[in-house]
């Protein structure tokens, strides 16, 4: 049997061959979405395989400035398997698959063996249409730009903005503002903020600015009420010793702002081992909604600010495809909303419990705290 041609599909759909060509390569500038869907559906029913014509199309335009779309996206992704990253990657993969894109995965952790390895040959051959970066290692962006086979093809970054790239971000200022506002509305006035030790980090600066804004919104002084501590530990000493030192430095705090759930939940378990009852003695709130802290009935009690992780991955893929198709400007930025999820690790501060914890037994009715042993 002779191979199926674009003209065969055009005759069946009663459109021109050029219209079929534009529809099958996803050119929304030349073909309406309704006509494109009908042509793509008809082509599939007739058994048309666009891959069979791809090599010929690349050969035809090899000496032309015109770029042939290969339906292949590179993803520079950190080597993590926790729920945070797998949820993002699931959203990304599903969105790319829906548009028939393949994925070329490049590990982007600075500590991984593949970080400094040369780019795969498909980059040299010009077969990658664009890239998504889930890393702040922007020198890799510069390396990619310097590759003649990639050059100025579209790049979408997810952890921040980089010149000449599009970006998909979460509203980190609102993350910090919602978390601090929740604690302030409960009555906490001395709050400990754990943050990245590098205060130059864009995410850290925006989160801390959001914390401060929550104080200002309530006519409170953030310099008085907000205490700061870096969220890195000396592994030789352990988290228990490190937390004890931090709380000795800030004995009046009644609540803790955690930079993410992966950090905050171990802190909550550590406080339990130290004799704190959560949230009576110390309220905690995180960010992500990617991990769980379970109570004795296996219910998640962790308070957090939910980030749209699945949508973060999906929107980064959709934005990359729009960039490849030329339908949005180069430096387009999409900011996704966040949501407060108040559960069982936050409550109003307990004066008597705090007095007992500090050893102030002169307070009438002060109780000696007990240790909660569940660490699920």
**Sign of the dihedral through C-alpha 289, 291, 292, 293:** negative
Specify the pLDDT at position 172. 96
> 42-46, 323-327, 342-346, 357-361: lowest mean pLDDT where?
357-361
Half-sphere exposure of 344 (CA within 13 A, CB side): 12
365 belongs to a structural domain = no
Asked whether the predicted pLDDT for residue 299 surpasses 60, the reply is yes
> Does residue 376 sit within a domain?
no
Characterise 361 by phi-psi region: left (phi > 0), alpha (psi -120 to 50), beta (else).
Answer: alpha
pLDDT (average), residues 72-94: 91
Pick the closest to residue 167 from 196, 207, 203, 200 (CA basis).
203
Run of H or E including 255 = strand 255-257
Please say whether the beta carbons of 256 and 192 come within 8 A.
yes
At residue 116, the pLDDT reads 63
Low-confidence winner among 14-23, 138-147, 276-285, 351-360 (lowest mean pLDDT): 351-360
How far is 63 from 61, CA to CA, in rounded Å? 6
Write down the pLDDT at residue 47. Answer: 86
If asked whether residues 10 and 120 sit together in one domain, one would say: no
Q: Residue 112 to residues 43, 80, 134, 136, 144: CA-CA distances in angstroms? A: 43, 11, 15, 15, 18
Sorted by sequence, the CB contacts under 8 Å of residue 371 that are 6+ apart come out as 272, 273, 274, 275
Q: How confident is the model at residue 370 (pLDDT cuts 50, 70, 90)?
A: very low
Do residues 268 and 229 both lie within one domain? yes
Closest CA to 195 of 215, 183, 181, 179: 179
What percent of the chain stands above pLDDT 90?
Answer: 56
Examine the pLDDT at 297 and tell me if it is beyond 50: yes
**pLDDT per position as a tens digit, 98-138:** 988 999 998 876 666 656 678 888 888 888 999 999 877 77
Can you tell me the distance from the alpha carbon of 198 to that of 188, in angstroms, rounded to the nearest whole number? 26
In a domain, 207, yes or no: yes
Confidence of residue 55 (pLDDT cuts 50, 70, 90): low
Task: Kindly tell me if the per-residue pLDDT of 373 is higher than 70.
Answer: no
User: For residue 133, what are the contacts with CB-CB under 8 A and spacing of at least 6?
Assistant: 76, 108, 140, 141, 155, 156, 157, 158, 159, 162, 165
CA distance 242 to 277: 18
Average pLDDT score, the chain: 84
Q: Clarify whether residues 150 and 213 are in a common domain.
A: no
Residues 296 and 331 in one domain: no
Contact 315, 243 (CB under 8 A): no
- Phi then psi for residue 13, to 5 deg, are -90, -5
pLDDT at 232: 65
Domain count, the chain: 3
One domain, residues 328 and 215:
no
CA distance 149 to 125: 6
pLDDT value for 371: 28
The dihedral built from the CA positions of residue 92, 95, 100 and 101, taken in this order, carries a sign that is negative
In the predicted structure, residue 359 carries a pLDDT above the cut 50 = no
Q: What is the pLDDT of residue 61?
A: 53
Reduced DSSP (H G I as helix, E B as strand, rest coil) percent helix, strand, coil of the chain, to 5:
40, 15, 45
Mean pLDDT of 138-144: 84
Provide the pLDDT for residue 114: 59
Q: Please indicate, yes or no, if residue 67 is contained in any of the structural domains.
A: no
Residue 25: the pLDDT is 75
Looking at the fold, whether 161 and 219 belong to one and the same domain comes out as no
Return all residues near 94 (Cβ < 8 A) that are at least 6 apart.
314
Within a domain: 371: no
pTM of the model: 0.79
Whether residue 365 has pLDDT greater than 50: no
pLDDT given for residue 28 in this prediction: 76
**Per-residue pLDDT tens for 170-228?**
999 999 999 999 999 999 999 999 987 766 678 889 999 999 999 999 999 999 999 99
Q: Provide the β-strand partners of residue 106.
A: 76
In degrees and rounded to multiples of 5, residue 251 shows phi and psi of -70, -15
Tokens of 329: 């400007």
Q: Where are the alpha helices (DSSP H) in the chain?
A: 6-13, 17-24, 33-45, 51-60, 83-98, 121-124, 139-146, 172-186, 202-217, 222-225, 239-249, 261-273, 309-325, 351-357
pLDDT attached to residue 361: 34
Same domain, 159 and 196: no
Phi, psi angles (nearest 5°) of residue 283: -90, 145
Domain limits for position 107: 72-170+309-337
Residue 347, domain CATH? 3.40.50.2300
* Residues 313 and 303 reside in one and the same domain: no
Instruction: Note whether 322 and 295 are same-domain residues.
Output: no
| CATH code for position 34 | 1.10.260
**Would you place residue 376 in the very low, low, confident or very high pLDDT band (cuts 50, 70, 90)?**
very low
Residue range 81-88: average pLDDT? 90
Q: What local confidence, expressed as pLDDT, does residue 354 receive?
A: 54
202 and 316, same structural domain?
Answer: no
Residues 258 and 189 in one domain: yes
Burial of 213 from C-beta contacts in 10 A (0-12 / 13-18 / 19+):
middle
Q: Are residues 86 and 111 in the same domain?
A: yes
pLDDT of res. 2: 67
* Phi, psi (rounded to 5 degrees) for 238: 95, 160
Lowest mean pLDDT among 106-120, 182-196, 251-265, 311-325: 106-120
């Amino acid at each position: 049997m002779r191979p199926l041609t674009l003209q065969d599909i055009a005759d069946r759909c009663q459109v021109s061959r050029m219209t079929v060509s534009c529809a099958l390569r996803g050119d929304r500038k030349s073909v309406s979405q309704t006509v494109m869907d009908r042509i793509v559906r008809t082509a599939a029913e007739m058994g048309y395989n666009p891959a069979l014509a791809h090599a010929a199309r690349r050969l035809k335009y090899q000496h032309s400035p015109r770029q042939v779309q290969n339906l292949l996206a590179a993803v520079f992704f950190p080597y993590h398997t926790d729920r945070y990253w797998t949820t993002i990657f699931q959203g990304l993969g599903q969105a790319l698959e829906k548009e028939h894109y393949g994925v070329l995965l490049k590990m982007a952790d600075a500590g991984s063996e593949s970080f400094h390895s040369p780019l795969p040959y498909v980059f040299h051959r010009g077969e990658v249409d664009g890239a998504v970066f889930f890393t702040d290692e922007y020198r890799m962006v510069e390396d990619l730009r310097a590759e003649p086979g990639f050059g100025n093809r579209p790049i979408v970054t997810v952890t921040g903005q980089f010149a000449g790239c599009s970006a998909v971000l979460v509203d980190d200022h609102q993350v910090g503002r919602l978390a601090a506002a929740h604690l302030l509305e409960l009555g906490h006035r001395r709050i400990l903020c754990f943050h990245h030790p590098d205060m130059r980090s864009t995410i850290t600066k925006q989160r801390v600015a959001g914390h401060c804004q929550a104080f200002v919104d309530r006519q409170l002084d953030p310099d008085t009420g907000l205490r700061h501590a870096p969220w890195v530990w000396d592994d030789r000493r352990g988290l228990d010793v490190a937390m004890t030192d931090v709380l000795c430095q800030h004995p009046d705090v009644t609540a803790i702002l955690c930079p993410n759930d992966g950090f905050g939940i171990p802190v909550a378990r550590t406080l339990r081992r130290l004799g704190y009852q959560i949230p009576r003695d110390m309220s905690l709130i995180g960010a992500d909604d990617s991990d769980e802290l379970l109570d004795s009935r296996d219910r998640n009690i962790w308070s957090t600010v939910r980030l749209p992780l699945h949508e973060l991955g999906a929107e980064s893929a959709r934005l990359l495809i729009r960039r490849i198709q030329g339908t949005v400007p180069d430096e387009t930025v999409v900011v996704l909303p966040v949501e407060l999820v108040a559960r069982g690790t936050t409550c109003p501060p307990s004066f008597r419990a705090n007095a007992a914890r500090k050893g102030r037994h002169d307070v009438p009715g002060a109780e000696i705290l007990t240790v909660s042993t569940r660490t699920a």
